Amino acid sequence: MRRVAIVGAGMTKFVRRAHETAKELTFEASRLALESCGMKRQDLGCVVHGTAPDAFDGFHMKGEFLLDGSGGFGKPYMRCYVGGGTGVFAPIHGFLHVASGLFDTCLVVCEEKMSSCQPHPQGAFISIFDHTTERPLGPNLLWIFALEMNRYMSVHGIKLEDIARVSVKNKGNALDHPSAQLGEKLTVEQVLQSEIMAWPVHRLMVSPTSDGAAAVILAAEGVAEKLTDKPVWIQGVGWNLDTAYWTNRDLYYPEYVEKAARMAYGMAGIREPSKEINFAEPYDPFAYKELHHMEGLLLCGKGEAPRLTADGVTARTGNLPTCPSGGLLGVGNPIAAAGMMKVCELFWQCRGEAGKRQIPGPPKRGVAQAWGDLMQVGTVLVVGSEKPKT
Partner 1 sequence: MIPHVETNQDLRAWPGDIPVEHLYTAGPAGDAALRAMKERAALLGSRCNACAVTYVPARYFCERCFARLNETVDVPARGIVKAVAVVSEDRDRKPLRKPVVLGLVALEGATGVFLHRLGVKKLDQAKVGARVEAVWKPPEERTGSVEDLLHFRVV
Chain residues binding partner 1 by CB under 8 A are: 17-21, 23-24, 27, 30-31, 34, 40-42, 55, 57-58, 67-69, 71, 73-74, 115-119, 121, 123-124, 126-127, 131-132, 135-136
- In the complex, what is the shortest distance from the CB of residue 19 to partner 1, in angstroms, rounded to a whole number? 6
CA–CA separation, 267 vs 218, rounded Å? 18
- In the complex, what is the shortest distance from the CB of residue 20 to partner 1, in angstroms, rounded to a whole number? 5
Q: Which lies closer to partner 1 via its Cβ, residue 71 or residue 285?
A: 71
- In the complex, what is the shortest distance from the CB of residue 59 to partner 1, in angstroms, rounded to a whole number? 9
- In the complex, what is the shortest distance from the CB of residue 215 to partner 1, in angstroms, rounded to a whole number? 12
Cα dihedral 242/243/244/250 (nearest 10): -80
CA–CA separation, 125 vs 142, rounded Å? 10
- In the complex, what is the shortest distance from the CB of residue 270 to partner 1, in angstroms, rounded to a whole number? 38
Cα dihedral 183/297/381/182 (nearest 10): -10
- In the complex, what is the shortest distance from the CB of residue 123 to partner 1, in angstroms, rounded to a whole number? 4
Dihedral sign for Cα 33, 37, 43, 45, please.
negative
Single out the residue of 4, 43, 7, 9 nearest to residue 220, CA to CA.
4
Q: Give, rounded to a whole angstrom, the gap between the first and last alpha carbons of the chain.
A: 8
- In the complex, what is the shortest distance from the CB of residue 380 to partner 1, in angstroms, rounded to a whole number? 30
Q: Which lies closer to partner 1 via its Cβ, residue 25 or residue 223?
A: 25
Side-chain half-sphere CA neighbours of 167 within 13 A? 26
Q: Which lies closer to partner 1 via its Cβ, residue 43 or residue 276?
A: 43
Q: Which lies closer to partner 1 via its Cβ, residue 67 or residue 291?
A: 67
CA–CA separation, 366 vs 1, rounded Å? 21
Element containing residue 216 per DSSP (H, E): strand 211-220
CA 22 vs CA 56, 65, 83: distances in Å: 10, 9, 17
Q: Which lies closer to partner 1 via its Cβ, residue 136 or residue 361?
A: 136
CA–CA separation, 96 vs 158, rounded Å? 39
- In the complex, what is the shortest distance from the CB of residue 225 to partner 1, in angstroms, rounded to a whole number? 24
Q: Which lies closer to partner 1 via its Cβ, residue 336 or residue 368?
A: 336
Question: Residues 277, 278, 281, CA angle at the centre, nearest 5°?
Answer: 85
The answer to whether 383 and 234 have CB atoms below 8 angstroms apart is: yes
- In the complex, what is the shortest distance from the CB of residue 377 to partner 1, in angstroms, rounded to a whole number? 21
Burial class (CB in 10 A: 0-12, 13-18, 19+), 265: buried
The answer to whether 337 and 256 have CB atoms below 8 angstroms apart is: no
Q: Which lies closer to partner 1 via its Cβ, residue 33 or residue 381?
A: 33
Q: Which lies closer to partner 1 via its Cβ, residue 125 or residue 246?
A: 125
The answer to whether 322 and 306 have CB atoms below 8 angstroms apart is: no
Q: Which lies closer to partner 1 via its Cβ, residue 28 or residue 242?
A: 28
